[in-house]
Amino acid sequence: MSVESRLCADLHCHSTVSDGVLTPRALAERASLNGVTIWSLTDHDEISGQAEARDAARALGMHYLTGVEISVTWAARTVHIVGLGFDPDNAALEEGVRQTRSGRADRARRIGENFARLGIPGVFEGALTYAGNPELVSRTHFARFLVEAGHCPDIQSVFDRYLADDGIANEPMQWAKLESAVRWIREAGGRAVIAHPGRYRYTPIQFASLYDTFKELGGEAIEVVTGSHTPAQFIEFAAIARGYGFMASCGSDFHSPSESRHDLGSLPPLPADLTPVWKSLV
């Protein structure tokens, strides 16, 4: 058995730096308690939690890979690209993710106006009280406020009723270009990974084009085992990884003990024949 395949990897989760509820340090402790031995914090469009995550992970004896989840618009839909193992001091990557998140404040205000028109005032201000980082207001913060204020029974119903990509209170966003996100990650020495491919509503032709384009740009991996996939999708995307020659990644996408279906370190291992994305990085 290789060193890589003996590791328990969780390479996708969120802290208070984006839309998670635990600090980077608390996440590291939870990951370690749950048996994770190689970990990455992948906040949305933000890398300011990386030093705390790395220091905490190393103090706990885990391998650490720097991480980020970049919001991208491709073929008129949002795709998330995870970057792993990059230099966190790379100026172009830092500037790229800063630009990517820069439209979030105005978008949040517009979402608040949409709720006001629907007869629910004060939602922008409410969401802000849930955002640990004022530059990173996410739909998740809106969802938490709306549940706490009694407008919806749970987070999922907020998305179903209001905030899904085509939801009545959502505001469409023009995120980073796929080529930019992959370039920032690669030029900072990292590996680019398509996050939770099973979540995208593309046609089979669009999926094929996404994989081809991503590969041409230097994208190297896809998430196969993720909290967003069903067990049937683990098998489906393992086949995609084999077919396109992608390395495979694994991550819970943990956000919160009370909201997330899958805890840190709780997912099954990757199929043994796939090359893990952390190969030769640890």
Give contact residues for ligand AMP (rule: CB under 6 A). 19, 44, 71, 138-140, 155-156, 159, 164, 255
| Least distance (Å) between residue 108 CB and Mn ion | 14
Say how far apart CA 246 and CA 260 lie, in whole Å.
27
Closest CA to 198 of 218, 223, 219, 173: 223
Nearer to Mn ion, 121 or 169 (CB): 169
Q: Which is nearer to ligand AMP, 10 or 19 (CB)?
A: 19
Show Cβ contacts of residue 75 under 8 Å, excluding neighbours closer than 6 positions: 202, 206, 209, 210
Residues near Mn ion, by CB under 5 A: 19, 69, 80, 195, 253
Q: 164 is in the binding site of which of ligand AMP, Mn ion, none (Cβ under 5 to 8 A by kind)?
A: ligand AMP
Q: Which residue is nearest to ligand AMP (CB)?
A: 138
Closest CA to 229 of 240, 220, 237, 221: 237
Q: Which residue is nearest to Mn ion (CB)?
A: 80
Least Å distance between CB 71 and ligand AMP?
Answer: 6
Minimum CB distance to ligand AMP smaller for 7 or for 193: 193
- The answer for residues whose C-beta is within 8 angstroms of residue 11's C-beta and 6 or more apart is 38, 39, 40, 42, 65, 67, 82, 84, 193, 249, 250, 251, 277, 278
3-state secondary structure of 89: coil
Among Mn ion, ligand AMP, none, what does residue 66 contact (CB within 5–8 Å per kind)? none
Closest approach, Cβ 209 to Mn ion, in A, equals: 20
